[in-house]
Amino acid sequence: MQAVADDVFYSIYQYLGFGLIFAVICMIALPEVEHKGLKKCLIHQWHKLRTDKITRYKFAFFTILFMVLSRTLICRSIWQCPWENIIGEWGVFASDGTLNTEGMLNVLLFVPLAYFGVLGFFQQDGLDKEILFNIVKTSFGFSCLIEICQLFLRVGTFQLSDIFQNTLGGFIGIAVWAMQQKIMKRGRKNMNTTLLIMAAGIGSRFGTGIKQLEPVDASNHIIMDYSIHDAIEAGFNHVVFIIRKDIEKEFKEVIGDRIASICSSHNVTVDYAFQDINDIPGTLPEGRTKPWGTGQAVLAAKKVIKTPFIVINADDYYGKEGFRKIHEYMVNEMTEDGDVYDICMGGFILKNTLSDNGAVTRGVCEEENGILKKVTETYDIRMIEDGLHAADEAGNPVKVQPEQLVSMNMWGLPVSFLNELEKGFPEFLDSLKPGDIKAEYLLPKIIDKLVHEGKAKVRVLDTPDKWFGVTYKEDKQAVVDAIKGLIDAGVYKEKLFD
């Protein structure tokens, strides 16, 4: 009878760990399942596994973590004396002369654990001493926790050699990751990518002067300086300015020649393209004075763009993260061949892109599982007492939410997309109604049309950085204060490019 009782007790005790871990996982997942339903949750997770490499890294990490827990705690037999061999086996060969496979397995299990841990949760580009220390420290702490659990739960044996071998495995895992990063960085340096800056805006809402050329810090840097700095830091090695001929002289005096010198020292090339209202197939409609929009602006640079490129506005500050994520997507995931254009975009929270001094226009996005489903150019967006006011192209009121993602014209595009712009521009002109002198060929509309036709897939890359820009002259002081805050926080140096 005693033997039967012991068997029952040990059976329950042995699998208690597995039961507790499974219960914790279920309790964490339960609210999401109750909210969306099991089927939708499974479909969502499967989609993320297929489309998001970070999710795949995390999945691999948790798989290996569970393997480690299963081997060390969950599926171990009860030991009456778990401290009988505290020192353990430290060498390649055990004390009896056989190969120390137990020690080797202790090392090998922690190698992929550390490797996928840093890929899934740190997402750092290049070796950092703090990351190295944190991973090794975590490997050591996690191994100690396992050994202590083994000691007190009497599951397996407590051995100091296990702690050393696990920590060594963590160190090897981070070393493998660092070597991979170094190799990938060399490859990225050999891949050309272009920063395309749309600076041809007439600045009609800024009063006198050219709004893109207004200094925003004590060193007389302008917003474009910060965008160029962040782009070069992310890995872009070609800068193209889209401007108008009539501002070329002032533009080059204020930023062009200076940036060309800075870019040269970083092995970054600089080119110019000119947006011209008359640069259309056919005759300019009578009374047309308004530029043709962002689509024509990008098309104007077709002759100087030979690589994947990012498009930004000259008078918008986007933050570092957007440039880094889009560049990473370009060099690691974007494909040029195929029937579907592979596009990405920086996604910003609408409430973080408003001006306190007037209305703004935004491309309001609808996305599912990180893939853009629809982008709607929305006008006259401003905060009023009752919430947000917005209108469609015809001036009709539309509803928008503060937390919605919007496009700030930060698009990552394959070079083949330029052919689509070239083909679509005459079609746009032919579709204009008589007397329509304000319609624009806009990137958000073009991309939205391609998405609906199944000709483009757009990955939405969320960025936590706050946008700010000079839409109105009154916005300038807020931008100056924001830049000063970033400098004081150490995000940028006062001498930006030093």
Looking at residue 58, its pLDDT comes to 84
Tens digit of pLDDT for each residue in 220-236? 888 889 999 999 999 89
* Mean pLDDT score, 300-307: 92
Q: Is residue 48 predicted with pLDDT exceeding 70?
A: no
Q: When comparing pLDDT for 211 and 346, which is higher?
A: 346
* Mean pLDDT score, 310-320: 91
Q: Is residue 126 predicted with pLDDT exceeding 60?
A: no
Beta-strand relationship, 309-313 and 405-413: antiparallel
Looking at residue 202, its pLDDT comes to 45
Res. 206 pLDDT band, cuts 50 70 90 = very low
Share of the chain above pLDDT 70, in %: 84
Euclidean distance between CA atoms 63 and 157, whole angstroms: 24
Backbone angles phi, psi at 495, to 5 degrees: -90, 95
Q: Calculate helix-pair angle for 443-452, 417-430, nearest 10 degrees.
A: 100
pTM, to two decimals: 0.62
Backbone angles phi, psi at 330, to 5 degrees: -60, -50
Q: What is the 3-state secondary structure (H, E, C) of 120-179?
A: HHCCCCCCCHHHHHHHHHHHHHHHHHHHHHHHHHCECCCCHHHHHHHHHHHHHHHHHHHH
Q: DSSP labels for 274-285?
A: E--TT-SSSPPP
Per-residue burial over 428-464, b if 16 or more Cβ lie within 10 Å, else e, is bbeeeeeeeeebbbbbbbbbbebbeeeebbbbbbebe
Q: When comparing pLDDT for 187 and 54, which is higher?
A: 54
Residues forming beta bridges with residue 328, ordered by sequence position:
none
Q: Is residue 56 predicted with pLDDT exceeding 80?
A: yes
CB 112 within 8 A of CB 60: yes
CB 340 within 8 A of CB 457: yes
Q: DSSP labels for 45-58?
A: HHHHHHH-HHHHHH
Q: Is residue 207 predicted with pLDDT exceeding 50?
A: no
The encoded tokens of residue 45 equal: 């997770």
* Mean pLDDT score, 461-487: 84
Q: Using alpha carbons only, what angle is made at residue 473 by residues 467 and 479, rounded to the nearest 5 degrees? A: 35
Q: When comparing pLDDT for 443 and 187, which is higher?
A: 443
Q: Is residue 7 predicted with pLDDT exceeding 60?
A: no
Whole-number average pLDDT of the chain = 81
The encoded tokens of residue 112 equal: 């992929």
Euclidean distance between CA atoms 168 and 159, whole angstroms: 15
* Mean pLDDT score, 307-320: 91
Q: Which residues contact 488 (CB under 8 A, 6 or more apart)?
A: none
Looking at residue 362, its pLDDT comes to 86
Count other Cβ atoms within 10 Å, centred on residue 155. Answer: 22
* Mean pLDDT score, 138-153: 79
Tens digit of pLDDT for each residue in 341-395? 999 999 988 888 888 778 888 888 888 878 888 888 889 898 887 778 899 888 8
What is the four-CA torsion angle of 450, 453, 456, 460, rounded to 10 degrees?
80
Q: Calculate helix-pair angle for 2-36, 53-69, nearest 10 degrees.
A: 170
Q: Is residue 115 predicted with pLDDT exceeding 60?
A: yes
Q: Is residue 38 predicted with pLDDT exceeding 60?
A: yes
Q: Is residue 8 predicted with pLDDT exceeding 70?
A: no
Q: DSSP labels for 72-138?
A: IIITPPB-S-TTTTSS---SSB-TTSSB-HHHHHHHHHHHHHHHHHHHHHT--SS--HHHHHHHHHH
Q: Is residue 312 predicted with pLDDT exceeding 60?
A: yes
Res. 41 pLDDT band, cuts 50 70 90 = confident
Share of the chain above pLDDT 90, in %: 16
Res. 127 pLDDT band, cuts 50 70 90 = low
